[in-house]
Amino acid sequence: MKLTTVAKFYAVSFSFAGIFWAILALCQVDFSSIIFFLTAYVWHLAIVTPGLKESVLKNNYRFSFLTVIVKANHYLQLFINLKRIPFSSSLIRAISPALFTFLLFIVGGSGNILFTLLGSFCFELVYLIVKKNTKLYDMPEFNPLVHINDPGIQPVIPNEEISRE
């Protein structure tokens, strides 16, 4: 049985998520902290999943949280230009889950930004190591030292935003 690229991507990514979850559980970390860790980990997983961005932006998922994740990362990649900083794409991807956790902390009084950043770091580390050492992720020329303005499908701007420009 031959797995597709996306299936391999999910198998490796979720295997490492399970390993990280087990390590945190064995260290007796608070459950809510583990949830913030996994939220950031899965947030990054959603952003770099092969073909997901094109699928989300092509279809009209207006009230999907996945659409919010993909569009937020897309706009951050467009507006923040850190081409000379190593691993700038990873840093930009880490902004949106950290902001989400910060908003949860402000509004609800609970949120652990440290574990959110740790989840972001762990996913990016796994992504970098696996991408560098294998041809598992069938994506064109990966260089984590170069900032990539994603040339994918542009998000559809609602009519209200177009009229203001």
| Cα gap 101→48, rounded to integer Å | 20
Domain range summary for the chain, segments of one domain joined by +: 5-164
Q: What are phi and psi of 2, to 5 degrees?
A: -100, 130
| 71 within 8 A of 155, measured Cβ to Cβ | yes
pLDDT in tens, 73-110: 877 877 777 666 677 777 778 888 888 888 888 887 77
Predicted confidence band at 26 (pLDDT cuts at 50, 70, 90)?
very high
Give how far the C-alpha of residue 119 lies from the chain's centroid of Cα atoms, to the nearest Å: 10
pLDDT in tens, 34-60: 888 988 898 888 888 877 777 777 777
| 153 within 8 A of 70, measured Cβ to Cβ | no
Confidence (pLDDT) at 133: 67
